[in-house]
Structure 1
Amino acid sequence: MNGNIYHDKRAQWVVYIVFFVSLGLIPVMQADPFLLNQLAVFGIYGLLAMSISLCWGTGGILNLGQGIAFGMGAYGMAMTMQMQSQDPEFSPLPSFMSTNGLEQLPWFWEPFWSTGGGIFLALAVPTIFSLIFGALMFQARVSGPFFAIMSLAMLSAFYILVLDMQPYTNGANGISPRMPLEVAGYSLDPYSPAAYWLIFGLLFSLTVLAKLLNQSKFGQIVRALREDPERVRFLGYNVALYETLIYAISAFIAAVAGCCFTILIQYVSPDQFDVVFSITMVIWAAVGGRLSLIGAIIGAFLIQGSESYLGDQFLNSWHLILGFFFVIIVRFLPNGLAGLLEMLLAKRSRSSTEESPPHGRAKSPAAANAEKAGV
């Protein structure tokens, strides 16, 4: 084979199918509920890494504030689950609101009496916010490190806002819904195989949709503006519009991850808006390969899996180890582990070409035309 199989679309889809089928079979082979819950949380981290890959790898937008959409989605789902455990007539107020002196349910909590409405808001609000914030930034041609700084500043503002609005968000204590999410009369046990399949079903479907988006004309334009936005602008495309859309789509995926996080953990706090957590998302994508959706997911699995087993041993030193590993990756493997695989396959392809026998070499155009003519 003369071409690099890494870029073969059929080979890529085969890898996707094998990868996700393998993940889907885990509950069949492993029944430990705590392990399934932990692996499902890894799936949420995979969603976040994939969203960063879509925004940063495809669109070239380094977003250090992805925790905004994630935290909004997590709080929206927590509010929905909290209201499911409240009685509209006898106990309309969550206990933390009563403790903080509120006598009436705040107006922005009212829509969360409806489970469907609450889930819709948990996904729609962060997406709409990202559309507005992205449009303001990209219309002003804020890009590169300047956008990264602005997104980081906005994330810090949200962290302080949620922390200070204690009567409405319970501040640093967060929101802990008493019961699992109930949809259409079915209570979703966060430790059940059903919860695991829900998370990885969303991971599979959103990754496939993101892959199809990358292969579409829209994806080609977004990748082009990643390389040279001025040239794309001169060709007549609205660069700000495409940047805003890819940024908002990425935020929607992060909001889905936030909703799933609350379903599994049954707890949300300002830590979901923590700066370190959002930067960690970028590290996942960088280590796995920001240009590869599945590479970013694997990067999240590897790092979080390592933290689960090594974090307790190294304690706070783990973050230093993670930072050192990130520096090594950026210095020697700028495209991450997926880029390393691409280089190895390219080297193998070149070796196969060089070792092929003379009769296997490509014919010149003249020889090919002569052969077609029967010469």
Structure 2
Amino acid sequence: MSRNLYHDRRAQWTLYLLFFAALALIPAFVEDAFLLNQFALFGVYGLLAMSISLCWGTGGILNLGQGIAFGLGAYGMAMTMQMQAQDPVTSPIPPFMLNNGLEQLPWFWEAFWSTGGGLFMTLFVPTLFCLLFGGLMFKARVSGPFFAIMSLAMLSAIYTLVLDIQPYTNGANGISPPMPLEVFGSSLDPYSTTAFWLVFGLLAGLTILAKLLTQSKFGQVVQALKNDPERVRFLGYNVALYETLTYTISGFIAAVAGCCFTLLMQYVSPAQFEVGFSITMVIWAGIGGRLSLLGAIIGAFLIQGGQSYLGDSFLNSWMLILGFFFIVVVRFLPKGLAGLLEAALGRLSSRDRKPASATTLHKVGG
């Protein structure tokens, strides 16, 4: 009896490899540097959607505050790039700090004098935050809508904090590093094919690692506790630990996306911590298919691509259209667009079974 091809692991891996191979060929057909930068930015959104899929779809943890890890990663990269433009002797303090009355570089900026140290802190701080915040929440058995509300509240608090400490973050104006990131003595042009391949290399690599994680024993336990955490707890598993690790890994991926965002845009602001942006990440995953890492990525591509070409036409109505579309998908396609593919392949497999069953009955009757 044939199975639904959608659940076949070989078919899944083949689709993943074909998808990322097709993305790698984009620079060969796109000569416009600005358009190539926009495609790379879609890769950042794909990373965010995939991180939500891992956290929400695999682990059952609805995180409405993914912008925390993303924003911290984006600010860390901006601080690293800003300090590359400063001279320890002649200009040790960024101009916006001088404009806000600071006469000495804040202590938490010191680590960003070193590019390696800055990149380490850029990923370490948001990952550590997720580990501590998630550990406290899940150990107290805060889950479901309660965790979603707590993550949203924490996101709002950090957004307000970043705005208020203007001398250290430049407030609503954000940080605009004057030069691209310099690595190993060479400047990384955000409009180059190198930047594009870097972003999509990270997208492909982290997605494949996340896929392997979901298929491992760890992933099976996480999916089991999503369906029935009490039963998993009675089997002797530390549910809080598995939930915390899933949330932390998802946060790490979002922090990587934040690094890439600043690398491409050369700008970061408190907008990266806005509630609406984090909710949009959930919409990407929900429409594309939260149970599928690849489906979530495609959902981000489709929605952001639609916004790029239709957002100017509909202006503020675009968010209403997107919200309506999300409600329709959640109501009629709970598995998102990936669920359509699953249903279509399921029908094909059922058709294949019918002739086989008829042949078997004919032989038995004969």
Write the distance in 2 (CA, Å) between the matches of 1:133 and 1:313: 41
Deviation string, structure 1 residues 62-104 (Cα, Å, up to 9, x no partner): 0000000000000000000000000000000100000000000
Q: 1:3 offset after TM fit, Å?
A: 0.4
Partner letter of residue 124 of structure 1? F
Write the distance in 1 (CA, Å) between the matches of 2:185 and 2:3: 53
Partner letter of residue 34 of structure 1? F
Q: Which residue in the other structure is 1:182 paired with?
A: 182
Aligned structure 1 segments of 4 or more residues deviating by more than 6 angstroms: 361-364
Q: Which residue in the other structure is 2:286 paired with?
A: 286
Residues 340 and 261 of structure 1: CA distance in aligned 2, closer, same or farther (over 3 Å): same
Residues 217 and 357 of structure 1: CA distance in aligned 2, closer, same or farther (over 3 Å): closer
Q: Which residue in the other structure is 2:203 paired with?
A: 203
Residues 362 and 31 of structure 1: CA distance in aligned 2, closer, same or farther (over 3 Å): farther
Write the distance in 2 (CA, Å) between the matches of 1:63 and 1:275: 11
Q: 1:360 offset after TM fit, Å?
A: 5.5
Q: 1:357 offset after TM fit, Å?
A: 6.2
**Aligned-pair Cα RMSD in Å:** 1.3
Write the distance in 2 (CA, Å) between the matches of 1:124 and 1:36: 29
Q: 1:359 offset after TM fit, Å?
A: 4.0
Deviation string, structure 1 residues 127-181 (Cα, Å, up to 9, x no partner): 0010000000000000000000000000000000000000000000000000000
Write the distance in 2 (CA, Å) between the matches of 1:355 and 1:203: 42
Partner letter of residue 302 of structure 1? L
Deviation string, structure 1 residues 257-304 (Cα, Å, up to 9, x no partner): 000000000000000000000000000000000000000000000000
SS in 2 for 1:206: helix
Q: 1:340 offset after TM fit, Å?
A: 1.3
Q: Which residue in the other structure is 2:98 paired with?
A: 98
Q: Which residue in the other structure is 1:193 paired with?
A: 193
Q: Which residue in the other structure is 2:73 paired with?
A: 73
Write the distance in 2 (CA, Å) between the matches of 1:193 and 1:99: 36
Q: 2:24 matched to 1:24?
A: yes
Write the distance in 2 (CA, Å) between the matches of 1:243 and 1:275: 23
SS in 1 for 2:6: helix
Residues 194 and 363 of structure 1: CA distance in aligned 2, closer, same or farther (over 3 Å): farther
Rg: which structure is higher? 1
**Counterparts of residues 1-375 of structure 1 (less than 5 Å):** 2-356=2-356, 358-359=358-359
Write the distance in 2 (CA, Å) between the matches of 1:188 and 1:275: 31
Write the distance in 2 (CA, Å) between the matches of 1:37 and 1:361: 60
Partner letter of residue 282 of structure 1? V
Q: 1:351 offset after TM fit, Å?
A: 1.4
Residues 255 and 350 of structure 1: CA distance in aligned 2, closer, same or farther (over 3 Å): same
Aligned residue pairs total 364
Write the distance in 1 (CA, Å) between the matches of 2:119 and 2:141: 33
Q: 1:358 offset after TM fit, Å?
A: 3.8
Q: 1:355 offset after TM fit, Å?
A: 2.6
Write the distance in 2 (CA, Å) between the matches of 1:280 and 1:104: 38
Deviation string, structure 1 residues 304-355 (Cα, Å, up to 9, x no partner): 0000000000000000000000000000001100111111111111112113
Return 5+ residue gaps in structure 2 as ranges.
none
Q: 1:362 offset after TM fit, Å?
A: 12
Partner letter of residue 71 of structure 1? G
Deviation string, structure 1 residues 92-135 (Cα, Å, up to 9, x no partner): 01000000000000000000000010011000000001000000
Write the distance in 1 (CA, Å) between the matches of 2:81 and 2:355: 63
Partner letter of residue 57 of structure 1? G
Return 5+ residue gaps in structure 1 as ranges.
365-375
Write the distance in 2 (CA, Å) between the matches of 1:98 and 1:263: 24
Write the distance in 2 (CA, Å) between the matches of 1:51 and 1:355: 42
Write the distance in 2 (CA, Å) between the matches of 1:74 and 1:244: 22
Q: TM-score, normalised by structure 1?
A: 0.96
